[in-house]
Structure 1
Amino acid sequence: MTDFVLIPGMCHGGWCFQELTGELRAQGHAVHPLTLTGLGERGHLLHGGVNLDTHIQDVTGVLAAENIQDAVLVGHSYGGMVITGAADRAPERVAALVYLDAMVLGPGDSCWTLVSDQERRWYTDVVETGYAVRPLPFFDPRATPHPLASLLQPLRLTGDLGHIRRREYVYAAGWDGPSPFTPVYRRLRADPSWRTHALDSGHNLMRDAPQDLVRILLGDQAGADRVTG
């Protein structure tokens, strides 16, 4: 049995992993789909101080409370920042990192510093309080505003992630237009310490390619570096 901890991207909650969660649990694994502070059913906790550190603590708190020792942390999009920070803060509890069309940041990076001007314009479309970014119109109706401070705060790391035995990147090759994650995928594909996968899917891999994700998460390496789906 493997413990999977699933971290959604901006404006989403644990609900976005529903099909993936069901598939993994049906095969006997423990799955923890998280909704981060200030989002979804935890939206009432939103305030100006909810930042990246808060979301990292959401993950490390679950690892400690559930006494998880060898977690596979899975982060979609913005969730890549969160799993990187959680692996740094609780290295003894994390065995693997899987990034789903996600940000892979280094020390001092933030979402704001790495994204394009187009995405920065989105980030500045905040709700009336100024605390959160509005969901984009095409998002799932369940999407909620995302804490702005989490996008502005630089990632603080105490060391590198060389202790993580397994690091994988799943690239969505089916974007309608250029993908902002293409440079990340190309960089990691050339790095022998990473294993990369490309799926013929849009950015919402959990909705569009759940069966492919199950195979990747359970260690099927046949599709690595090949567009499938």
Structure 2
Amino acid sequence: MTTFILIPGGWRGGWTFDPVADLLTASGHKVLALTLPGLGDVPAPAANLSSHIEAAVQVAEDCDDELILVGHSYGGMVVSGVADRARAKIRALVYVDAYVPETGESVWSLTSPDFRDIFIAGSQADGLTCVPPSNREPRCRPHPMATFLQAITLTGHWRDVPRKLYVGAHGWEGSPFRDLHERLSNDPDWQTYALNCGHNVPQLEPEALAEILLKQA
């Protein structure tokens, strides 16, 4: 049995992976879909990227099975941080239309000007959290701004994970991930997939995503 740790993108909790989690568990695997600090019912406006990574590292270290880490969008930052630190056995890293940072980079530095404008507009109320854009689901929560702004520190150990996959969503305009997908497609250390859907892959293409993940188990 493999344990899948699923890390959601901005404003979302583990619930965003429900359709994918159902398919993975039906195949006999364990699924831990995380809701990071501040993205559930308990606000944590002071949470930053380090605290999100620490929360996910603790989950990974408590697992005895082989792990597959999956990060959607912002969750890619956390996946890299966990893989760089965790002593647990990680079989694969899967970035789903997600940021893949180098040390010293942040969501703010990696994203597009349009998304920076969204962050600025969303943080005007208190300067600590970014409210979800108006087209997000009601379950979305204000996202701690420091997690978008803080630069990640990596040793490079995450690159030692034997399998690294990138799943791009190519059915939406304004994606900050298309150039990254193209670059990784030419990198022999990576396996890449392209889905013709919007950014919210776990809910728009759960069957396709689950199929990709199950191939790694």
CA contact (8 A) 1:80 1:103 kept: yes
Residue 224 (structure 1) aligns with = none
* Alignment partner, residue 179 of structure 1: 175
Letter in 2 for 1:85: G
Once the two structures are overlaid, the 10-residue window that deviates more, 153-162 or 133-142, is: 153-162
Q: 1:127 to 1:39 in 2, by over 3 A?
A: farther
Q: How does 1:110-129 map to 2 (within 5 A)?
A: 110-125=106-121, 126=123, 128-129=125-126
Moved over 4 A (4+): none
SS in 1 for 2:135: coil
- Aligned-pair CA distance for 1:47: 2.9
Q: What is the count of residue pairs matched by the alignment?
A: 215
Q: CA deviation at 1:127?
A: 5.5
**Corresponding position of 1:166:** 163
Q: Name whichever of 152-161 and 137-146 sits farther off.
A: 152-161
Superposed CA RMSD:
1.4
3-state SS of the aligned residue for 1:121? helix
Change (3 A) 1:178 1:47: closer
Aligned positions of 1:131-210 closer than 5 A? 131-175=128-172, 177-210=173-206
Q: Could you say if the C-alpha distance between residues 165 and 47 of structure 1 is closer, same or farther in structure 2, counting changes exceeding 3 Å?
A: same
Matches within 5 A, 1:61-140: 61-65=58-62, 67-125=63-121, 126=123, 128-140=125-137
**CA distance, structure 2, for counterparts of residue 89 and residue 168 of structure 1:** 19
Contact 1:91 1:163 in 2 (8 A): no
Aligned-partner Cα distance in 2 for 1:69–1:131: 37
Paired letter, 1:167: K
Q: 1:60 aligns with which of 57, 60, 70?
A: 57
1:9 partner letter: G
Instruction: Determine the C-alpha separation between the residues in 1 that align with 2:124 and 2:132.
Output: 10
Q: Show the counterpart of 1:226.
A: none
- Percent of pairs identical after alignment? 43
Offset, 1:40: 2.0
Residues 127 and 145, structure 1, Cα contact 8 Å, conserved in 2: no
- 2-structure distance, mates of 1:145, 1:15: 15
Query: Structure 1 length normalisation: TM-score?
Result: 0.90
3-state DSSP of counterpart to 1:193:
coil
Residue 91 of structure 1: how far off its partner (Å) = 4.5
| Other structure's SS at 1:74 match | strand
Deviates more, 1:121-130 or 1:23-32: 121-130
Alignment of 1:31 with 2:31, yes or no, is yes
- Equivalent-residue separation in structure 1 for 2:90 and 2:16 (angstroms): 22
CA–CA distance in 1 between the matches of 2:13 and 2:140?
A: 7
Partner of 1:40: helix, strand, or coil? coil
Q: Which runs of 5+ in 1 are unaligned?
A: 221-229
Counterpart Cα distance in 2 of 1:148 and 1:69: 33
SS in 1 for 2:158: coil
Contact 2:72 2:97 survives alignment (8 Å): yes
Q: What is the one-letter code of the residue matched to 1:187?
A: R
In the superposition, the TM-score normalised over structure 2's length comes to 0.95
Tell me the SS of whatever aligns to 1:72. strand
